């Protein structure tokens, strides 16, 4: 299985991962407008406000990123008894993927960050906040919720924005509870005293934060590694993942391993919230069973996606998969999609009254038999979707020496055919769930099957669709082609 295919499979596993996030909730407000004059009162632009929006910020943005990746986030935080606090509660409740645990503390000012934009450029940010520690009764209430939620979580995330939620001794108590249960802990740190995060699995400081916390220079690769190792030794960590802006990321592990990951962004519009994306993606990946390096690589790709968007954006799982495939030279002129995107495309086709056909296979070493099957399938419908077995599922079906070509290469070849309108890679052994999601009008398989043995036939027929058994081309199969090559 190719390296990219392993990472794609890791992204697919995020859907079953439970992530418990604790940290400072904020309300991010965005004011959008236009500027066409300078104020006569001072040399500043006058913004004509056109629209406003609000979303979860701070630790809430970490949770939004976890949900966008398809994982199952739980969010524990504290807000004030004010309008902004109630708006945060409403935003959490509206996101059905988030399990809420928002506590209200009287007298606390809910943190609000208001950003002003014109022509996609940020002009100003105004903050309102409380930075004091939690009152003892509120801290006890939060810990009680943690004790109930932590056993079911795959990973604990501490998103510290220095607003008091994780002020000592809270972070230490949370890390100790998680480690006693064998849960990994990912910390997005704040301040200069990282000893409060002692025992965490991995910290994710940016370059400036690493310098401030250690007092070490961080100008070169070697400097960053030395500073990270000092932090690992001093705080009893398993690793440090330092985000380095245009220089990418550096992962330093306690065992001595060092990995420099180049920046993935192709265009940078706004770095707001990119660190939240990194910690969310890394945590979800580790919680799903990925290694620290695998998690860091996926997080690096996700960060490259969000900095190409304006505002505190998120990276969706299908965007991460597409970016990974892009790095594997996957193109396909927009014909290659994940399942969720494919469902949207098929819905648009149906609104135009196109009939949708579906066929599937490994399509390893494309041969005339494959081409004949695809042409017959396209003749039976207006638009043809091809379900393609992932590398992992091909290995399970065909053995450890297959596939000969990666899923990226196989999808690229399929998408280049005129008969194929969409290619969707699936990781299961059969396309049953994909067929269930797409609900095709026509299901096509080779004549070596019977209608009763075609996976998904009953689903299609129940909706009034039909099953087509395509004629086979004698002597054509990937297995035979491989045997002939081996014989030579």
Catalytic residues: 276
Cβ neighbours around 164 below 10 Å, total: 20
Rounded-to-integer distance, Cα 216 and Cα 108, Å: 36
Rounded-to-integer distance, Cα 148 and Cα 177, Å: 11
49: helix, coil or strand? strand
The H or E element that residue 80 is part of is: strand 72-80
How many angstroms separate the first and last alpha carbons of the chain?
25
- Of the candidates 410, 404, 361, the one whose C-alpha atom is nearest the C-alpha of residue 386 is 361
Rounded-to-integer distance, Cα 390 and Cα 405, Å: 11
**Contact at 8 Å (CB) between 475 and 368?**
no
Residue 435 structure tokens? 């067929």
Rounded-to-integer distance, Cα 185 and Cα 388, Å: 36
CA angle 422, 426, 430 (to 5 degrees): 115
- Of the candidates 286, 273, 277, 220, the one whose C-alpha atom is nearest the C-alpha of residue 250 is 220
Residue 420 structure tokens? 């194929």
- Measured in degrees and rounded to the nearest 5, phi and psi for residue 339 equal -60, -45
Rounded-to-integer distance, Cα 277 and Cα 468, Å: 45
Cβ neighbours around 344 below 10 Å, total: 10
Rounded-to-integer distance, Cα 374 and Cα 386, Å: 9
Rounded-to-integer distance, Cα 181 and Cα 201, Å: 13
Q: How far, in whole angstroms, is CA 219 from its chain's centroid?
A: 30
DSSP notation for 308-330 = TSSSS----HHHHHHHHHHHTT-
Rounded-to-integer distance, Cα 208 and Cα 217, Å: 9
């Amino acid at each position: 299985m190719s390296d990219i295919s392993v990472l794609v499979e890791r992204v697919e596993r995020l859907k079953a991962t439970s992530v418990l996030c604790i940290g400072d909730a904020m309300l991010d407000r965005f004011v959008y407008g236009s500027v066409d004059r300078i104020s006569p009162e001072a040399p500043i632009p006058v913004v004509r406000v056109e629209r406003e929006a609000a979303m979860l910020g701070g630790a809430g943005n970490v949770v939004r990123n976890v949900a966008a990746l398809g994982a199952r986030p739980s969010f524990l935080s504290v807000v004030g008894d004010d309008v902004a606090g109630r708006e945060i509660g409403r935003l959490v409740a509206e996101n059905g993927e988030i399990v809420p645990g928002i506590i209200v503390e009287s007298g606390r000012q809910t943190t609000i960050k208001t950003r002003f934009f014109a022509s996609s450029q940020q002009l100003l940010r105004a903050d309102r906040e409380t930075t004091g520690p939690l009152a003892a009764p509120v801290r006890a209430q939060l810990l009680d919720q943690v004790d109930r939620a932590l056993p079911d979580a795959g990973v604990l995330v501490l998103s510290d924005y220095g607003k008091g939620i994780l002020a000592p001794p809270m972070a230490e108590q949370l890390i100790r509870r998680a480690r006693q249960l064998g849960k990994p802990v990912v910390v997005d740190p704040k301040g200069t005293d990282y000893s409060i995060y002692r025992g965490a699995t991995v910290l994710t400081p940016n370059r400036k934060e690493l310098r401030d916390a250690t007092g070490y220079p961080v100008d070169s690769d070697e400097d960053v590694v030395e500073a990270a190792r000092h932090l690992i030794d001093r705080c009893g960590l398993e690793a440090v993942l330092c985000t380095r802006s245009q220089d990418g990321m550096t992962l330093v592990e306690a065992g001595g391993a060092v990995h420099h990951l180049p920046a993935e962004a192709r265009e940078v519009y706004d770095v707001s919230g990119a660190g939240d994306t990194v910690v969310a993606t890394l945590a979800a990946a580790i919680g799903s069973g990925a290694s620290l390096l695998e998690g860091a690589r996926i997080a690096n790709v996700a960060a490259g996606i969000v900095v190409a968007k304006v505002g505190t954006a998120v990276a969706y799982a299908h965007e991460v998969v597409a970016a990974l495939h892009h790095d594997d030279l996957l193109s396909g002129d927009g014909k290659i999609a994940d399942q969720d995107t494919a469902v949207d495309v098929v819905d648009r086709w149906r609104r135009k009254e196109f009939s949708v056909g579906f066929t599937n296979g490994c399509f390893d070493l494309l041969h005339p038999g494959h081409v004949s099957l695809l042409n017959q399938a396209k003749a039976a419908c207006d638009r043809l979707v091809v379900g393609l077995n992932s590398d992992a599922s091909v290995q399970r079906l065909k053995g450890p020496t297959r596939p000969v070509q990666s899923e990226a290469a196989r999808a690229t070849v399929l998408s280049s055919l005129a008969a194929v309108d969409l290619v969707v890679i699936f990781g299961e052994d059969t396309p049953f769930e994909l067929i269930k999601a797409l609900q095709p009008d026509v299901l096509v398989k080779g004549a070596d099957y019977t209608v009763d043995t075609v996976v998904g036939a009953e689903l299609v027929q129940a909706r009034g669709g039909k099953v087509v058994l395509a004629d086979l081309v004698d002597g054509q199969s990937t297995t035979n082609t491989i045997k002939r090559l081996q014989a030579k």
